[in-house]
Amino acid sequence: QVQLVESGGGLVQAGDSLRLSCAASGRTFRSYDMAWFRQAPGKERTIVAVIRWSGARLYYADSVKGRFTISGDNAKNTVYLQMNSLKPEDTAVYYCAARAYVGALVTSPGDYTYWGQGTQVTVSS
């Protein structure tokens, strides 16, 4: 059974940094795309970043380009989201997601098969 477990969320001030982790288990993820989504209260779940497990392809939402970095550690089956220069508008529950990749990277939540439970990130002004 596939499991994705996020960690690393918390309460920080604007301008601070956080690193989220997503530990994956249950199968070999080398043929998977791993993504981070976020959902603020009353809003839809939206893409933050995607990485093809091989690291060959990356995608970032415009709102986080230059501030967030997605990376993976194959040996640990873990994907990270390094978040720098955090802003109050980054406040949301952050979710890790996975899908077996076919073709181009995709950014719709409906295209992802496996989900973690989410971790709260709160950025105060």
* pLDDT of residue 40 exceeding 80: yes
- At residue 29, φ and ψ (nearest 5 deg) are -100, 15
DSSP state of 42: T
For residue 97, give both structure tokens: 């997601």
Quickly state the pLDDT bin for 102 (edges 50, 70, 90). confident
- At residue 69, φ and ψ (nearest 5 deg) are -135, 125
The Cα–Cα gap between 38 and 121 comes to: 9
* pLDDT of residue 78 exceeding 90: yes
Q: What percent of the chain has pLDDT over 90?
A: 80
For residue 11, give both structure tokens: 């309460």
